[in-house]
Amino acid sequence: MAIRVARRSVLTGSLAVPWLLGRAAADAAEEARPAAPTLDIHLHLFGAGDGDSGCRLAPAVAAAPTFQLLTKALRLRERAKTLDEGYVLVLAEQLQHSGLQKGLILAQDAVYDRAGKPDWAKTPFYVPNDYLLQVVARYPQWMVPCVSINPDRADALAELDRCADKGARALKIHPPIQGVDVADKKHTRFFQRCAAFKFAVLVHTGHEHSSPIIDVGLADPRKLELALDQGCAVVACHCGTGRTDDRPDMLPDFLAMTRKYKNLWGDTSVLGGLGRARDFLRLLADQPVAERLLHGSDFPFPAMPMAFAAKIGQAEALRIGAITNMIRQDFELKEALGIGRASAERAHRFVQEAAAPGDRGATP
């Protein structure tokens, strides 16, 4: 009887070997599977126009302490003969060593008058779409273009068609800086065309502190409803956030709208800074909304890890604060907050699917 049991045990064990080996191989393959690709959805392209870029920078912005500090910190004038080229080099360098696979690079359109012509006197900075496309073409393995089209411009539809023909599938609008009311029904056809092209439409929402604005009310998240109703996939940049003393508080409107529109997303750009730490934590406390966030740094504007020391611990805040790569520092801060990699993978999927069929808003 003992011999029979032994033989049965041996036979059973022998039959189990292939299953165990297969299971071990599957587990090893799972561990070896590369991480999903990641993307920073909010990286600015800047220029002073001292090269052949066509960029413009208002004297008041160029003379501002923030711009002078960034120019010095990034050593822009030491890297190349022009500030424009120096910025491109540092952007590429930072992105390549950020730990992220891709970055969405943003152009910046002008302010336009009632006739749809550029109003340069009211435009704080300008980065042309053609220059953006040229820069991205130099670094296609790292960069994805996000053109900027102010729907107030006379040729807005033609420019949208032109940029689509050149391969762009994302665009950015900055209502308080560009003076555009995206809720104006005269822009219905523009947003319908964006939806037809499956453009990802990024729109600044919330308070703005780095550049002169025309009207803070233009940054209200509720103004996104026209674009959303036309079927656009809209990213509310900064999620309607602001500093603790900013009024009005626009974050509740963004939170409410995410429940109404499945094609509305938010990005985490500039939320790692000192001023918006409170609002960022308010966002992260709302789990359904946290799952609609796309990773963005807002480079070249820096994160401030010590602002989150109470949440992530002082030692971790100091460690992250010592990282010299600004894009990586912002990403690791958001990793420490529990949102970084998931939102960066989500951002990559969102941008990759920009030209694909189907409803991008259906799956966070």
Residues 198 and 266 in one domain: yes
The count of structural domains within the chain is: 2
Containing H/E element for 61? helix 59-62
Average pLDDT over residues 144-155: 98
Q: Under a CB-based contact definition with an 8 Å cutoff, are residues 267 and 344 in contact?
A: no
pLDDT at 103 over 90: yes
Average pLDDT over residues 78-98: 96
Coil vs helix vs strand at 264: strand
Residues contacting 77, CB < 8 A, separation 6+: 71, 83, 86
d(CA 302, CA 286): 25
Record the pTM. Answer: 0.88
Long-range contacts of 133-137 (CB under 8 A, 24+ apart): 133/166, 133/168, 135/45, 135/88, 135/105, 136/105
Place 362 in a pLDDT band, splitting at 50, 70 and 90. Answer: very low
**Looking up tokens 């420019």, which residue turns up?**
159
**CATH code where residue 175 lies:** 3.20.20.140
pLDDT value of position 21: 46
Between 357 and 130, the more confident residue is 130
Residues 72 and 220 in one domain: yes
Residues 189 and 102 in one domain: yes
Residues 71 and 123 in one domain: yes
Residues 43 and 17 in one domain: no
Beta strands in 229-291 (DSSP E): 233-237, 264-267
pLDDT value of position 200: 97
Among 265, 272, 356, CA closest to 312 = 272
pLDDT value of position 66: 84
pLDDT at 262 over 60: yes
Residues 29 and 46 in one domain: no
pLDDT value of position 65: 87
Average pLDDT over residues 330-347: 97
pLDDT digits (tens, 9 = 90+) for 289-318: 999 999 999 999 999 999 999 999 999 999
Percent of the chain with pLDDT over 70: 88
Average pLDDT over residues 77-88: 94
Coil vs helix vs strand at 242: coil
Long-range contacts of 183-187 (CB under 8 A, 24+ apart): 183/222, 183/223, 183/224, 183/225, 183/226, 184/226, 185/226, 187/151, 187/226, 187/227
Residues 181 and 109 in one domain: yes
Residues 17 and 80 in one domain: no
Neighbour count for residue 180 (Cβ, 10 Å): 26
pLDDT value of position 12: 41
Among 349, 348, 314, 310, CA closest to 331 = 348
Residues contacting 163, CB < 8 A, separation 6+: 129, 147, 149, 171
pLDDT digits (tens, 9 = 90+) for 23-72: 444 454 444 556 899 999 999 999 999 988 999 999 989 888 888 888 99
pLDDT value of position 360: 40
Residues 169 and 302 in one domain: yes
Residues 115 and 150 in one domain: yes
pLDDT at 5 over 70: no
Residues 6 and 132 in one domain: no
Question: In which domain, by residue range, is 18 found?
Answer: 1-33
d(CA 125, CA 57): 4
Place 240 in a pLDDT band, splitting at 50, 70 and 90. Answer: very high
Residues 321 and 356 in one domain: yes
